[in-house]
Amino acid sequence: MTWHLKCCGDTDEIIHPTQSKAWRHFDEMHSSFKKEPRNVRLGFATDGFNP
- 9-49 pLDDT per residue, tens: 666 777 777 788 888 898 899 888 888 888 887 766 667 76
- Residue 33 has a pLDDT of 86
Q: For the whole model, what pTM was predicted?
A: 0.59
Does residue 7 have a pLDDT over 80?
A: no
- Residue 44 has a pLDDT of 67
User: What ranges in the chain are assigned the alpha helix state H?
Assistant: 3-7, 21-29, 31-34
